[in-house]
Chain A
C-alpha cells in the first residue's frame, strides 16, 4: 500500500517538475507578453497542483494535509486572477500583441 502511494507521489512530483520546466521555457521562448501569460498559466495550475498533490501523498492524513489543501486552493484561486489582472493591465495600457490582431476594437 505504502509503496503504491510512494510511486504515485513520485509520478506526481516528476510530472509536476516537467510541466513547470516546460512552462517556464515557454515564458522564455514565446514571442510576446500575451502568449507568455499562457505559458506561465501551466506552471501555476496543473504543475503546482501536481507537486502539492505529490506532497500530500507523502504527508498522509493530518494537519499537514489540510494545510497543503489550503495552499492548493489558494493558488488555484489567485493565479487565474493574477494573470487576468496582468492581461487586463497590459491591454489597458495599450500593449499591442505580436503577430496578427483581429477584431481589435480599442475602447
Chain B
C-alpha cells in the first residue's frame, strides 16, 4: 500500500484472496485432511540453522542495497524515466502500468499469457479431461444435500454485478488499476461462486467445457495475431501503429484488443483449472 502499486494490489487482492486458497482447499479435499505425526523431516534443527545462516547472509548483503524509496536507485535510472515521462504522450492513456504491460513490453506479456495457457493445459492433462462422470455426481450430491436457501438467493443477486464488475475492470485498465489479468480472475471467481452453489453439472451446462477450452486458445491467438497483423503490414511485431493513422488511437486500439485476449485466456484457464480440481473431489476413504 505504501508502495503505490495499485495494479499489483488489485491482482493480489483478486488472486491471493480468492483463487489460491480455494485451490489449496480443493487439493486438501481431494487428498484428504489427514495429518501424519511424522510431518517433519528428521532434523528440523539443522533446517533451522541452515535457514538462519542463509537469512543472516542475505541481511548482510542488503547493507549495500539502495535505501527504500531512494530516487537514484539503479532500478529507477534506465528505462523507467522514459515510461514515466513519455508514456502519456506516446501511448495516450493515464495508467502507466497498462501502457508498459500492453505496449512497451507487450512481447513479455505475450510470453506470460502463453505460460498461463500452458499451465492450464498441464493441469488438464494431469487431472484428465473429465472422463469420470460419477465424481462430478458425487460433488453435485453434496451440493444438493444441504439446503443453503439464504446463500443461494444472495449468490443469485450477487453474481451478475460481480460479472459486470469484472468487465468494468477489463475495459478500464487504461484509466485506473485493472486490466485483463485481474478481470479474468474476478470473472472466474464469480463462476466459482456459481459452481459451489448450483453444482458442477449445472455450471457445465452454462459454461460449455469445450467452448472455454477453445476460447482459452483463442485468447492467446488473438494476442498473437495482433502481432502478426502488424508484422504483415511491414512493422515490428506487436507494433500497434498499423491500426490507425493517429499514433495514440492506434495504441489505444492495440491495448484494448490485447487486454481482451489476456482477459479471455486468464478467465478461461482459471475456470478450466477450477473445474478439473472440483471434478477430482471424491471419496478416497470410501473407495
Chain A residues with a Cβ under 8 A of chain B: 77-78, 81, 84-85, 88, 92
Contact = CB atoms under 8 A, between A and B. Distances in A.
A45 to B, nearest CB: 16
Interface of B: 146, 148, 150-151, 154, 157-158
14 contacts: A77-B154, A77-B157, A77-B158, A78-B154, A78-B158, A81-B150, A81-B151, A81-B154, A84-B151, A85-B148, A85-B150, A85-B151, A88-B148, A92-B146
Contacts of A85: 148, 150-151
Contacts of A77: 154, 157-158
Contacts of A84: 150-151
Nearest to B155: A81
Mostly, the A contact residues are helix
Contacts of B158: 77-78
A25 B154 CA distance: 29
Given A81-B151, A85-B151, 13 more contacts: A77-B154, A77-B157, A77-B158, A78-B154, A78-B158, A81-B150, A81-B154, A84-B150, A84-B151, A85-B148, A85-B150, A88-B148, A92-B146
A94 to B, nearest CB: 14
Nearest to B151: A85
A103 B184 CA distance: 48
A92 B154 CA distance: 20
A81 B151 CA distance: 7
A103 B150 CA distance: 23
Nearest to A89: B146
A84 B150 CA distance: 8
A65 B148 CA distance: 34
Nearest to A84: B150
A43 B12 CA distance: 24
Nearest to B150: A84
Contacts of B154: 77-78, 81
A78 B162 CA distance: 13
A88 B150 CA distance: 11
B160 to A, nearest CB: 13
Contacts of B146: 92
A85 B154 CA distance: 11
A23 to B, nearest CB: 21
A85 B158 CA distance: 15
A77 B151 CA distance: 11
Contacts of B148: 85, 88
